[in-house]
Copies of this chain bind each other. A is one copy, B any other.
Amino acid sequence: MSRKNVIVAQSGGPTAAINASLAGVIDAVLQSDDYETVYGSIYGILGIMENRLMNLNEKAAENPDFIRLLKTSPAMYLGSCRYKLPDEEADEAAYAQLFAQFEAYQVGAFFYIGGNDSMDTVLKLGRYGNKIGSSIRFIGIPKTIDNDLCVTDHTPGYGSAAKYVASSLLEVAHDTFIYSVKSVTIVEIMGRDAGWLTAASALARTSYSSAPHLIYLPEVPFEKERFLADVREQLAQRNNVIIAVSEGIRDKDGTYISATAAKEDQFGHSQLSGTGKCLEYLVKDAINVKVRSIELNVLQRCASHIASLTDLDEAYALGKQAVSYASQGQSQCMLTLRRVSGKPYQTGIETADINGIANEAKSIPREWINEAGNDITQELYDYMAPLIVGEPALSYKNGLPVYLPISHLDTQE
């Protein structure tokens, strides 16, 4: 019996680890007895529909550094999409087209590396496959800097983003502590609905710096007066107060703080008011102190130059294991990480039914946040700490990190 081929695609927002999972899939197929060629679909699942498929065996053969560079390059080598597969009842034609392509390319397995929406796609393709009696395996490989996927202990991409946040916070502390003038610095961190990434700011604490001194997460309703009291209390204790805040903090009615301020201030453009800016003005108006806010930007998700080796290694292992599981007949599942041991840190790879994962989100448990709602507990610290450990070996050329170009860049630029 001749070997089948596989298709792999990437979807959703970038992370520093999503290419490591792709590298794992490619490596596993190259060594597989069951699968022959791994095709990469350009721009997520859209690449299958638009017949933009790239032979990744050839790419790996052409360039001896391909896998190594892929593992440490940011964002998505194959490009991404924000396409949500319609329900089968609404548009069966999309499914028919996709499965026709699977047949044309003699596909035995499809791997989708992504977050919530990508898992929804895996779920729907699996259901349709069952219906038509297809033997294709559909497997999801998780990634998201938000760390909000259910069942898995954590998600690839989170550790690297957490490391960027913690390192940045530490450097901001150094930047701030040099002045004797009292000041408040507010650092806004990504995370609309879950505070995992903002919580990672606590990993910046060292023997000499307890910054961030306050941490506000979307999991706890935000109260302005309480916040100002917290800031005043901190200012009584130290010169330079550093605050980490999630972009997604909300008041007790569920209204985003940024939205409130935008309305209050009568701005035309509500996007102008980032959450950090809102808190900056709140402090400025109420307390006579130097204040500034800093919005950590998209580098949170793509700063491969300070990625976590633990994160990249796990992402790679998940990609590799996904191919084994497909060989063994698993389908309609997402790979998960299970923490076997905290100290020493050790994880194992398992699978979980995609039904319990797609379209669900995981918040920080309330008991991992302190009672006052302005800091995290030691338990959460211990959960996060091992995820940022280790530095990948990066090459630099002319002072710039060497990355693999995104696959379609040659033609685009």
CB-based contact B298/A297 at 8 Å: no
By a CB distance below 8 angstroms, the chain B residues around A167 are 305, 400-401
Q: Does A277 contact B (CB under 8 A)?
A: yes
Closest Cβ of chain B to A47, distance in Å, is: 10
This chain's copy number in the assembly? 2
By a CB distance below 8 angstroms, the chain B residues around A390 are 399
CB-based contact A268/B269 at 8 Å: no
Q: Does A319 contact B (CB under 8 A)?
A: no
CA distance A272 to B209 in the complex (A): 30
Closest Cβ of chain B to A272, distance in Å, is: 6
Least CB separation from A78: chain B residue: B178
Considering the complex, which residues of chain A in the window 359-391 have a beta carbon less than 8 Å from any beta carbon of chain B? Answer: 385, 388-391
Q: Does A76 contact B (CB under 8 A)?
A: yes
Q: Does A48 contact B (CB under 8 A)?
A: no
Least CB separation from A410: chain B residue: B208
Q: Does A172 contact B (CB under 8 A)?
A: yes
CB-based contact A206/B400 at 8 Å: yes
Interface centre among A171, A240, A301, A303 (most CB of B within 10 A): A171
CA distance A281 to B272 in the complex (A): 10
Interface residue total, chain A, C-beta cutoff 8 A: 75
Closest Cβ of chain B to A336, distance in Å, is: 23
Least CB separation from A308: chain B residue: B399
Considering the complex, which residues of chain A in the window 290-311 have a beta carbon less than 8 Å from any beta carbon of chain B? Answer: 294-299, 301-306, 308, 310
Write the A389-413 contact mask toward B (1 if CB under 8 angstroms, else 0).
1110000101111010110111011
Q: A171-B299, A399-B166 are in contact. Are A178 and B209 (CB under 8 A)?
A: no
By a CB distance below 8 angstroms, the chain B residues around A296 are 297
CB-based contact B399/A172 at 8 Å: no
CA distance A318 to B179 in the complex (A): 24
Least CB separation from A397: chain B residue: B206
Q: Does A81 contact B (CB under 8 A)?
A: yes
Considering the complex, which residues of chain A in the window 37-91 have a beta carbon less than 8 Å from any beta carbon of chain B? Answer: 43, 46, 73-76, 79-82
Q: A79-B179, A269-B281, A398-B388 are in contact. Are A412 and B238 (CB under 8 A)?
A: yes
Chain A interface residues toward B at CB < 8 A? 14, 43, 46, 73-76, 79-82, 163, 166-168, 170-172, 174-175, 177-180, 203-204, 206-210, 238-240, 265-269, 272-273, 277, 281, 294-299, 301-306, 308, 310, 385, 388-391, 396, 398-401, 403, 405-406, 408-410, 412-413
